[in-house]
Amino acid sequence: MAQSVTNLKKVTLSISLVDSTGNQNAAEAEELSFVFGAASEGLSPLEAALTDKHVGDSLKMSIPQQEMHEVCGHLLPKLRHLLGLQILPQVLSLDITIKRVEDASAREVVKAVAASVGSGCGGGSCDCGCS
């Protein structure tokens, strides 16, 4: 059986923006990888929605602009960079599918924890656009 999304697993998501009519363009799906549960502020609501899910599971989220920081937490800068969102939309509608769940290496865990304790991201060296 495939691993489930639990603390300190490396999770890879396929994320697509969904337009106002509910359509998504699969060619625009992007992959986001992160160590689940490594952020110093705890699980964001986005991460909590992934808890105990497996590869192939999916979910849709529509997040109002004023709630994006709270809902996405430490993943928001990475999402913005990944999806090319220089300006946040009024509602961020996402189609999310779990692509991989694997054991994170000790190095990946340490790096994720250090980033969350520091600037919340890589301090500009992480290539997420947080500089």
Q: Are 103 and 9 in contact (CB under 8 A)?
A: yes
- Asked if residue 31 belongs to a domain, the reply is yes
Task: State the CATH number of the domain containing residue 72.
Answer: 3.10.50.40
- Asked if residue 130 belongs to a domain, the reply is no
What is the DSSP secondary structure assignment for residue 49, as one 8-state letter? H
Q: Are 34 and 45 in contact (CB under 8 A)?
A: no
- Asked if residue 68 belongs to a domain, the reply is yes
- Asked if residue 128 belongs to a domain, the reply is no
Percentage with pLDDT > 90 across the chain: 65
| Confidence label for 119 from pLDDT (cuts 50, 70 and 90) | low
Q: Which of 22-26, 76-80, 82-86, 120-124 has the lowest mean pLDDT?
A: 120-124
State how many domains the chain has: 1
- Asked if residue 30 belongs to a domain, the reply is yes
| Confidence label for 19 from pLDDT (cuts 50, 70 and 90) | confident
Q: Are 96 and 15 in contact (CB under 8 A)?
A: yes
Report the chain's C-alpha Rg in angstroms: 14
- Asked if residue 3 belongs to a domain, the reply is no
- Asked if residue 108 belongs to a domain, the reply is yes
List the structure tokens of 123: 């301090």
- Asked if residue 129 belongs to a domain, the reply is no
Q: Are 90 and 68 in contact (CB under 8 A)?
A: no
What's the whole-model pTM score? 0.82
Closest CA to 80 of 60, 97, 63: 63
Backbone φ and ψ of 93, nearest 5°: -105, 120
Q: Which domain holds residue 93?
A: 9-117
- Confidence check: pLDDT of 37 > 60: yes
